[in-house]
């Protein structure tokens, strides 16, 4: 019997698509949703399923930001052939995204048993949701919003990219929450911080999804459920990206802070009453 049915895959695809790029933790929401649907979250195929459907959300980034990505790749290819082109900021930025992905890859491979094991507990998710809220709120207070995307440096990219490790080790912290908060502390404006978060997520999340693909199709999760979940996450994520960029153009991230605290407290309540299992 499949650990995840097609109907459940639709729900999980929606959850993934809505939450992947909002600073609210897609992993945390997926784990809670799986717990409420009595899906065996300790099944390797289920763990892999949640990673693979992220590829659908990442594909939405590739489509939404196609012109930007094409510009970056074009500048990078020209820079490889022509030394003069290497002063182009887009050429440098592309390399910086690659460099900034290295720390999370190293930690992800080294700490995988912990990430899939004790750190995957819903208790960790609940307290990470609340703890991450404090970080986002503090970042908003510290931010001076002085610099735009064209002023991003290698140091910015490395520090913000490394912050993704927080979300890797503490599901519920949120990769986008960690990266956006760090970028705000680095004095990037909200739009630059959010776009940098998107671009830094491309190699890390794509690689994670492809790496887990072999386990996701290993028997307990069928190909139909995986395909449906990935497609739904793509469609919903595209709409979520468009909404987020419009929202942060005029608003702070404080609404997400409140939402995360509420969800964290609810999860603690569900765990304390044994409504869901950790």
Strands (E), the chain: none
> How many whole angstroms separate alpha carbon 277 and alpha carbon 190?
37
Least confident of 12-21, 96-105, 142-151, 268-277: 268-277
Query: In this predicted structure, what is the pLDDT of residue 276?
Result: 79
Query: Taking the domains of the chain in order of start, what are their residue ranges?
Result: 6-272
Report yes or no: 184 and 123 within 8 Å, Cβ to Cβ.
no
Query: In this predicted structure, what is the pLDDT of residue 2?
Result: 66
83-142, pLDDT tens digit by residue?
888 999 999 999 999 999 999 999 988 888 887 777 878 899 999 999 999 999 999 999
Model pTM score: 0.89
153-201, pLDDT tens digit by residue?
999 999 999 999 998 899 889 999 999 999 999 999 999 999 999 999 8
The pLDDT-based confidence of 4 (bands split at 50, 70, 90) is confident
Q: Which is nearest to 207 in space by CA: 82, 104, 134, 89?
A: 104
Task: Compute the C-alpha angle 88/157/235, nearest 5°.
Answer: 95
Q: Which residue has the higher pLDDT, 243 or 278?
A: 243
> How many whole angstroms separate alpha carbon 2 and alpha carbon 170?
28
Two structure tokens written together for 244: 């987020």
To the nearest whole number, what is the mean pLDDT of the chain?
A: 89
What is the distance of C-alpha 3 from the center of its chain?
24
Report yes or no: 46 and 264 within 8 Å, Cβ to Cβ.
no
Is a pLDDT exceeding 80 seen at residue 211?
A: no
> How many whole angstroms separate alpha carbon 197 and alpha carbon 180?
6
Q: Which residue has the higher pLDDT, 17 or 50?
A: 17
């Amino acid at each position: 019997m499949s650990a995840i049915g097609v109907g459940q895959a639709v729900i999980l695809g929606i959850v993934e698509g809505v939450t992947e790029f909002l600073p609210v933790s897609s992993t945390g929401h997926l784990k809670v949703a799986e717990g409420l649907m009595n899906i065996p979250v300790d099944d390797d195929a289920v763990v892999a399923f949640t990673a693979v459907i992220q590829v659908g959300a990442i594909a939405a980034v590739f489509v939404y930001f196609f012109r930007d990505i094409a510009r970056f790749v074009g500048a990078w290819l020209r820079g490889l052939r022509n030394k003069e082109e290497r002063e182009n900021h887009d050429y440098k930025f592309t390399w910086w995204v690659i460099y900034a992905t290295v720390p999370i890859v190293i930690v992800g491979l080294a700490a995988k048993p912990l990430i899939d094991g004790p750190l995957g507990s819903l208790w960790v998710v609940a307290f990470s949701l609340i703890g991450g809220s404090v970080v986002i709120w503090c970042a908003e207070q510290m931010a001076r919003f002085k610099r735009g995307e064209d002023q991003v440096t290698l140091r910015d990219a490395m520090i913000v990219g490394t912050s993704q490790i927080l979300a890797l080790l503490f599901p519920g912290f949120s990769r986008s929450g960690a990266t956006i908060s760090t970028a705000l502390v680095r004095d990037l404006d909200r739009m630059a911080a959010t776009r940098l978060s998107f671009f830094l997520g491309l190699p890390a999340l794509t690689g994670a999804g492809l790496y887990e693909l072999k386990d996701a199709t290993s028997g307990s999760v069928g190909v139909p459920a995986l395909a449906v979940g990935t497609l739904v996450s793509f469609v919903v994520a595209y709409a979520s990206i468009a909404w987020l960029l419009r929202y942060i153009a005029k608003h702070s991230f404080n609404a997400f802070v409140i939402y995360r605290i509420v969800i964290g407290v609810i999860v603690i309540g569900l765990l304390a009453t044994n409504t869901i299992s950790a």
